[in-house]
Structure 1
Amino acid sequence: MNIPTLTTGRLVLRPICRDDLDASTAIWADAEFGRYVGTHDRHSMWHNLAANIGAWELEGAGSWSVVERATGVLVGRAGLWYEPEWPGIELVWFIGRPWWGRGYAPEAARASGTWAFANHDVNRLVAIPHRDNQQSIRVAEKLGMTFERYETLHETDSAIYAITRAEWEARTRTGD
């Protein structure tokens, strides 16, 4: 599958590659970063990256490595996730702690969501943060997503936020 590259004002969302392993491991090994999403050592990070690359082949969508345009530094991952019996196509964002507070998560997620609605016959996207992860909940709300319910997924107390295609497109038209 040919995975596209997306560009925003400050970021490049490009296909995940093997060279991302060490930088991704550094991000995901941080305990505060992993508070709600778990941490990874180099071995488990390799499996995580492989799964995300495989998602493109299995589902026609997946995550991208997020790179800061100005520096070329990998700052995280964002994109889409879907698996059987999941509440919907999930918009995901994982920005490393050194880059928190810069607005990279909503910027990368907005690009991913716009791509999803333009390239897939889907009428709704979801975000599934841990129910206590206020930072991710704020990102979902910045994107115009609204709370639907709490649900336990993979033994995690999650909050389901969602946005419809019509709501997304209305926000895009108004520049919100």
Structure 2
Amino acid sequence: MIPTLETERLLLRPQTMADWPAYARLMMSDQAVYLDGPHSLGDAWGLFCHNLAQWRLMGQGTLMIESRETGECLGQVGIHYGPLFPEHELGWQLYPGAEGNGYALEAAQALRDWAFAVRGLESLVSHIDPENHGSRKLAERLDAELILDPDRPGPEVLLYRHKM
């Protein structure tokens, strides 16, 4: 079962097909550079489906970030795990125009807290490109610790470990 989480300003909810057009635009744009993009339409579709499949296969996945005030979809926050993710990873992405309002912080805090308290995870990390200064700052605001010599996917990725 995919949860719906509420914060003061946000609804974190399961994705729907109505979310696909905005997701595809982001993933095929230059803004997807920190998400291994830009992606082709087919690759974006595969990632969109992957985000939903994680819930069924792993018991966690991606939730859409929606404004409770306007109903606008602002981006995504998710926990990924499996063959491509050796540890449970917390990640976030906002759509153009949603940045700078604290939405990613609010959403990531809520999903992180759910992961530890409800899902019972004992470890949660974020892999962040060293040049992605916004995500690095957000990880630090989440009180995640930068691990300097982790066993990580590659030397180009920094690992931040979240505290329970």
- TM-score, normalization by structure 1: 0.84
Aligned CA RMSD, in angstroms, stands at: 1.8
Q: For 1:74, give the aligned amino acid.
A: C
Contact 1:52/1:62 (CA < 8 Å) preserved in 2?
Answer: yes
Deviation for aligned residue 1:152: 5.5
Q: Provide the residue aligned with 1:73 in structure 2.
A: 72
Q: For 1:111, give the aligned amino acid.
A: A
1:2-41 matches, within 5 Å, as 2-31=1-30, 33-37=31-35, 38-41=37-40
Unaligned runs of 5+ in 2: none
Q: Name the CA shift for 1:66/1:40 in 2 (closer, same or farther; >3 Å).
A: farther
Give the paired residue count.
162
- CA offset digits 1:75-116 (Å, max 9, x no partner): 111021112373421111011131111111111100110110
Deviation for aligned residue 1:29: 2.9
Cα distance between partner residues in 1 of 2:80 and 2:148: 19
Q: Name the CA shift for 1:81/1:29 in 2 (closer, same or farther; >3 Å).
A: same
Deviation for aligned residue 1:53: 0.7
Cα distance between partner residues in 2 of 1:34 and 1:98: 15
Unaligned runs of 5+ in 1: 166-176
Q: Provide the residue aligned with 1:158 in structure 2.
A: 157
Cα distance between partner residues in 1 of 2:75 and 2:52: 15
Contact 1:123/1:164 (CA < 8 Å) preserved in 2?
Answer: no
SS at match of 2:124: strand
- TM-score, normalization by structure 2: 0.89
The sequence identity of aligned pairs, in percent, is 32
Contact 1:62/1:79 (CA < 8 Å) preserved in 2?
Answer: yes
Q: Provide the residue aligned with 2:90 in structure 1.
A: 91
Deviation for aligned residue 1:158: 0.6
Cα distance between partner residues in 2 of 1:62 and 1:164: 19
Deviation for aligned residue 1:65: 1.1
Cα distance between partner residues in 2 of 1:4 and 1:55: 13
